[in-house]
Amino acid sequence: MSKTIAVEISRLNKTYGNGFCAIKDLSLEIQEGEFFGLLGPNGAGKSTLINSLAGLVKPTSGYVRIMGNDIRDNRTNAAMSVGIVPQEIVCDPFLTVAETLVFQSGFFGLRNNEAWLDTIVSKLGLEDKISTPVRMLSGGMKRRVLIAQALVHKPPVIVLDEPTAGVDVQLRRELWAFIGQLHREGHTIILTTHYLEEAQNLCSRIAIMNAGEIIALDKTDALLAKAQENTVRFRLPCTLPDVLQSQVLQNQAGRYVLRYTDLQNLTMILKSLNDLGVEPENLSIERAGLEEVFTELLNKN
């Protein structure tokens, strides 16, 4: 059985009023139930793309469908299908947290959704702040309100634009537990973040954007497999065996960083060191992560 396409972006272009082209002929399909990561350096066009889904940015050409609803021809259904947590904090500063959520529910014509609102408030740790005007909240607390606001209509597609920027460790943990639960219940999650480890751990598929285009799109495991720079680090109080010279990435006064390709290669390195009869100091082994792949890809482009 074929799965529903949660988000379908086809040949999307966005040129801002000043003539700057932020999205270039971009096409992308995200399946229902995916946990999808959208990564890229500052200015790559991630927020422009995300804001196009919300109708906050008007595409110059191309189309976007959310759960099959075209954002122009079928605006109401498209809006009901998606909840977007924007990167910029935009809330009415004079409303309390409770009023903000009730107001946002009214925007979708929802009544009697108190039980769901209570769940959101409790999962995001906002109970104590429910009667506080938003302007009196700290930055991290405002971000929690923004997340809550995006979820009032329990949208099947949840888009989070840097939800953990400026957020403390506890909320980060609570937020991922809650989003993880919604994902298991079938919601599609789209995430942008500059914390690559977060994306590596959470997302099953990742797109990397640069200058308005997608430069890589693959399952997270497949992207990670492209990383070559697994490393072994150590300090050696004697000369490095000749057989290891070709694998040296760095040598600063006996502090070595060696590249290894696979387990067999790693075993060979460790055996050669062991044969020296001198214990290497501060030995550590690091598998290449998303950060290496990201840097390699951006350097190539």
Q: Give yes or no for residue 48 binding ligand ATP (CB under 6 A).
A: yes
- Which tokens in the block code for residue 164? 């953990």
Which region, judged by CB under 5 A, interacts with Mg ion, from 86-94, 111-119, 277-285, 286-294? 86-94
45 vs 280, beta carbon nearer ligand ATP: 45
What single-letter DSSP state applies at residue 133? B
Q: By CB under 5 A, name the one of 51, 69, 81, 87 that touches Mg ion.
A: 87
Q: By CB under 6 A, name the one of 8, 34, 37, 40 that touches ligand ATP.
A: 40
Taking CA atoms, 205 is separated from 29, 38, 87, 235, in Å, by 11, 9, 21, 37
To the nearest whole angstrom, how small is the minimum distance from the Cβ of residue 161 to Mg ion? 6
Q: Give yes or no for residue 22 binding ligand ATP (CB under 6 A).
A: yes
Q: By CB under 6 A, name the one of 18, 264, 284, 299 that touches ligand ATP.
A: 18
| Ramachandran sector of residue 80 (left: φ over 0; alpha: ψ -120 to 50; beta: rest) | alpha
To the nearest whole angstrom, how small is the minimum distance from the Cβ of residue 25 to ligand ATP? 15
Binding partner of residue 155 among Mg ion, ligand ATP, none, CB under 5 to 8 Å per kind? Answer: none
- The H-assigned helical ranges of the chain are 46-54, 75-81, 97-107, 114-123, 139-151, 169-184, 196-202, 220-225, 263-275, 290-300
Compute the residue count for the chain: 301
To the nearest whole angstrom, how small is the minimum distance from the Cβ of residue 43 to ligand ATP? 4
Which region, judged by CB under 6 A, interacts with ligand ATP, from 16-24, 70-78, 116-124, 228-236? 16-24
Residues numbered 24 to 83 that lie near Mg ion (CB under 5 A) are 46-47
206 vs 232, beta carbon nearer ligand ATP: 206
Residue type, 208: I
To the nearest whole angstrom, how small is the minimum distance from the Cβ of residue 54 to ligand ATP? 13
To the nearest whole angstrom, how small is the minimum distance from the Cβ of residue 204 to ligand ATP? 21
What single-letter DSSP state applies at residue 4? P
47 vs 164, beta carbon nearer ligand ATP: 47
CB atoms within 10 A of CB 270: 16
Binding partner of residue 131 among ligand ATP, Mg ion, none, CB under 5 to 8 Å per kind? Answer: none
Q: By CB under 6 A, name the one of 6, 39, 47, 155 that touches ligand ATP.
A: 47
Q: By CB under 6 A, name the one of 11, 20, 118, 235 that touches ligand ATP.
A: 20
Residue type, 60: T
Cα dihedral 187, 191, 195, 196, rounded to 10, equals: 90
Residues numbered 212 to 231 that lie near Mg ion (CB under 5 A) are none
Q: Give yes or no for residue 125 binding ligand ATP (CB under 6 A).
A: no
Q: For 181, what's the count of Cα atoms within 13 Å in the CB-facing half-sphere? A: 10
Taking CA atoms, 191 is separated from 19, 67, 265, in Å, by 28, 17, 36
Cα dihedral 268, 272, 278, 281, rounded to 10, equals: -40
Residue type, 165: A
Binding site for ligand ATP (CB under 6 A): 16, 18, 20, 22, 40, 42-48, 87
